[in-house]
Amino acid sequence: MAPVNVSMAPAMGQPAALTTKQSNARDTYTHSLSNFKSILNERRSEIDSNRRLPNLPGQALYLARIDLMSAYKDLTDALPSKIGRPNKFGIPPEYFDADIEPLVDEYGKLFDLMEAPPANAQNSATPFKDVFDLGVAIARAKGLDATQAEAAGRISLGLFFAETNGKQNVGNARSNTYKGSLQTGPDEDRNGRRKWEALKKSMITSDPELIARDDREEARIGDMDHRLNHWTAVRDGLMNAHADLFREIPAIVKTLPSPIDQMKFFELIQIIPTPTRSALRSGHLTDYRVSDRVIMRHLRNNSIFAFGQADRRRTSASFREILDAMWLFNRKFERAISKVEEVRAR
């Protein structure tokens, strides 16, 4: 056997030199992490010193978090050994370094401050029950039986958590248009109110208690923006975009038996309504494929296929792939399901 040339062999235990791709991925992640920390510190300093915040103060922070997770996914793609331990947010470890959990906790605290409800917002003492009850009542008025209507209530709670993490009457640090418990715009709220007035007439005798509550909340909000009252904001938001599809819940449940998938489907009605309705009408919901560049961009803008070069290069996806890629919503929907159990217990 020929002797080993020691001068050419790596030292025992010495890590192999990084390739250019690996080195670039490492440097990009380091830069993204530094940028995320910098924006966190800037927003915290502005808030603590009562300085005026910039317009849409959450946008730069949100984009920095997306960039950070994207850079980490590129890093773990290049260096799989960097995939670490599970994290408390339930994010797949290849997308998130558990060591930065405290930074994301601070991120959440800053958004809570930046999106705090205005002083004239009208809270509810039973925000989760309200959402569930409205979803159930609307579904019963649409002709669903008790079991199907309960699914509508659960889905409605999922939407509340998807849009606001279960916080009522919040603002929006990334948009000047959307606000309230279901994050609707003015036109969406008005459209939902019109649809509700038409449906309400059929519920006066079948659900008098809920209608009495609705009358009280209408009197309470008066001529103010209905999105500043938790009850009317949720009611109008559900009626605007989702109630018309409640009749389809039996077919949706049959195709998507997972309650979390059902919630994801209704959230997609919020994000990409036209292709989602088309997928349902096709009769092959999970196999239905979207390839429009605008639709793919909307998905990425909502943290779906947004992390890492491999995901961002996607030009199409089936609805099964889209639902699976909505893993950032899983924790929100799990919390919604736990709230359903609390509402039942009461």
pLDDT in tens, 186-196: 999 999 999 99
Looking at the predicted structure, is the pLDDT value of residue 5 above 80? no
174, 168 Cβ separation under 8 angstroms:
no
Average pLDDT over residues 158-168: 97
Tell me the pLDDT tens digit for each residue of 21-53: 999 999 999 999 999 999 999 999 999 999 999
- Whether 13 has a pLDDT exceeding 70, the answer reads no
Q: What is the pLDDT of residue 2?
A: 41
Give this prediction's pTM: 0.92
**pLDDT of res. 176:** 96
**Mean of the per-residue pLDDT values for the chain?**
94
Residue type for 7, please? S
Q: What is the arithmetic mean of pLDDT over 308-326?
A: 96
Two tokens, residue 77: 């793609």
Residue 205 is predicted with a pLDDT of: 92
d(CA 280, CA 251): 9
- Specify the DSSP element, H or E, that contains 119: none
Contacts 24+ apart (CB under 8 A), 287-293: 287/318, 287/319, 287/320, 288/318, 288/319, 289/316, 289/317, 289/318, 289/319, 290/316, 290/317, 290/319, 290/322, 291/315, 291/316
- At residue 14, the pLDDT reads 54
pLDDT, tens digit (0-9, with 9 covering 90-100), for 189-215: 999 999 999 999 999 999 999 999 999
pLDDT above 50 (res 1): no
Whole-number Å distance between alpha carbons of 127 and 335: 14
Q: What are the phi and psi torsion angles at 261 (to 5°)?
A: -65, -35
- pLDDT class of 15 with cuts at 50, 70, 90: low
Read off the pLDDT of residues 133-149 as tens digits, 9 standing for 90 and up: 999 999 999 999 999 99
